[in-house]
Structures are given as structure tokens and as C-alpha cells.
């Protein structure tokens, strides 16, 4: 998945602030929008910096209440790290880790189209992991049904059971590889089998 797809899900709203605004104004925006950083734009709409919660806290710790009157341009990070909309999510996460940042402005043809945070990427990563686990669960459930069918067919038809059951086994595997979910009839949950012997007497007795 690319960053562009994440922006399609979360939205492309860009919350920005002028560099000559005060830290007090910036803190108010962060609180109202419930975000951790805001992009500072120049008069021409170009990115001139990024102001994060950490920047505000750092100046308040050094200057006390007077820090809230400091201009955003004097407190923001000017060396802005950006990514392209076609960047892979894993690459963006690696960049955040390497550069120790939590927010990345997203560009397309040098134009700002959105901002992603580490929270956005982690949320996607969790969703991806859950989808993979569900696909594996469906696959294993289908395999369980296959061996149950194989045991039944082997008892009923003997050596002729294999051509019928092989199609049942291959179908869920093909579905999972293509990112599809097998039909409900092949996805019924069953308790996991501890050993191959759990397939039943018929499966142990059958031989191709």
C-alpha cells in the first residue's frame, strides 16, 4: 500500500499555520484539531517548517509563559522531511524511525496534498496484520474440512477419493494467494488439530 491510499482513507485536510503566528495560536490549533503537529506555510503556500507539540513544550520549559508569544517561525523545525504520495508505507515507517519524526508532509509534484502521522501508519499496519491472520484462519479452516472430507471419501471410495478431494484442497489456497476469501462453506471455524493423527482413523488408513 502507498501513502496515497492512506490519505484516501483518512482524508486530505491540511491544517496549517503562518510562520508569523504565535505559539499560543499554534497550541490552540493543536488542541482544537486534536493533532500533534501543524505545517507552517509561507505567503506563497510553500512549506517553510513543521511545528510539533515537542517544539512548544521545549520553549515553554526554557522561557516559561513568555514562550507563548514566540513566533512559530522561531520555534518550528525548518529542515522538513517530506515524502511523495507514491511512497510505500513500509518505507515511510522506516524513514520516521531513522529520522525520529512522527509527522511527514506528503507531496505530489512538489505540491502539499496531506500529512501522515506515525499513528496513521501503525493503524494501517495493524489492519494489514489482522487481514493476514484472518486469511490464514480461513485457509487452515478449509484445509481442516479437506482432510475431513478426505477421510470420509477414503472410507467410502478408497483410492478414487483423491481426484475429488484434491480440488477442495487447492481452491482455498488459490483464494488466499489472490487475496480472496474462500466461500463460507470452506471457511467454517473448527478447533485446531494438534497432530496429523487427529485427522481420524480413515485418514491414517487411506493410502494413494
pLDDT tens column, 120-173:
999 888 888 888 888 888 888 877 777 777 676 666 655 554 454 444 455 555
Cα(135)–Cα(127) distance, integer angstroms: 12
Q: Looking at residue 144, what is its pLDDT?
A: 75
C-alpha distances in Å from residue 35, one per residue of 30, 71, 146, 166: 5, 19, 50, 54
Cα(162)–Cα(115) distance, integer angstroms: 55
Write down the pTM of the prediction. Answer: 0.62
Residue of 149, 182, 152 whose CA lies nearest to 165: 149
Q: Looking at residue 1, what is its pLDDT?
A: 84
| pLDDT > 70 in the chain, percent | 72
Q: What is the pLDDT of residues 44-84, one digit of tens each?
A: 888 999 999 999 999 999 999 999 999 999 999 999 999 99
Write the CB contacts of 150 (distance below 8 Å, at least 6 apart in sequence).
161, 162, 165, 199, 202, 203, 206
Backbone angles phi, psi at 171, to 5 degrees: -60, -50
Question: Of residues 92 and 156, which shows the higher confidence score?
Answer: 92
Q: What is the average per-residue pLDDT within 170-188?
A: 49
Residue of 90, 87, 86, 85 whose CA lies nearest to 121: 90
Q: How far from the centroid of its chain's Cα atoms is residue 140's Cα?
A: 24
Amino acid at each position: 500500500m502507498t501513502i496515497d491510499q492512506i490519505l484516501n482513507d483518512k482524508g486530505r485536510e491540511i491544517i496549517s499555520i503562518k510562520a508569523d503566528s504565535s505559539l499560543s495560536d499554534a497550541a490552540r490549533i493543536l488542541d482544537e484539531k486534536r493533532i500533534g503537529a501543524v505545517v507552517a506555510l509561507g505567503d506563497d503556500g510553500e512549506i517553510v517548517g513543521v511545528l510539533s507539540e515537542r517544539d512548544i513544550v521545549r520553549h515553554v520549559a526554557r522561557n516559561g509563559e513568555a514562550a507563548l508569544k514566540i513566533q512559530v517561525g522561531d520555534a518550528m523545525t525548518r529542515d522538513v522531511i517530506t515524502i511523495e504520495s507514491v511512497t510505500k508505507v513500509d518505507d515511510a515507517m522506516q524513514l520516521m524511525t531513522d529520522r525520529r519524526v512522527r509527522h511527514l508532509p506528503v507531496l505530489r509534484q512538489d505540491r502539499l496534498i496531506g500529512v501522515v502521522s506515525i499513528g496513521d501508519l501503525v493503524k494501517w499496519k495493524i489492519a494489514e496484520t489482522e487481514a493476514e491472520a484472518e486469511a490464514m484462519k480461513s485457509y487452515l479452516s478449509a484445509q481442516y474440512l479437506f482432510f475431513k472430507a478426505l477421510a470420509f471419501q477414503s472410507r467410502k471410495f478408497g483410492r478414487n477419493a483423491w481426484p475429488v478431494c484434491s480440488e477442495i484442497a487447492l481452491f482455498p489456497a488459490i483464494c488466499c494467494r489472490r487475496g480472496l476469501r474462500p466461500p463460507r462453506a470452506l471457511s467454517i471455524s473448527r478447533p485446531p488439530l494438534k497432530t496429523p493423527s487427529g485427522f481420524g482413523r480413515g485418514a491414517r488408513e487411506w493410502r494413494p
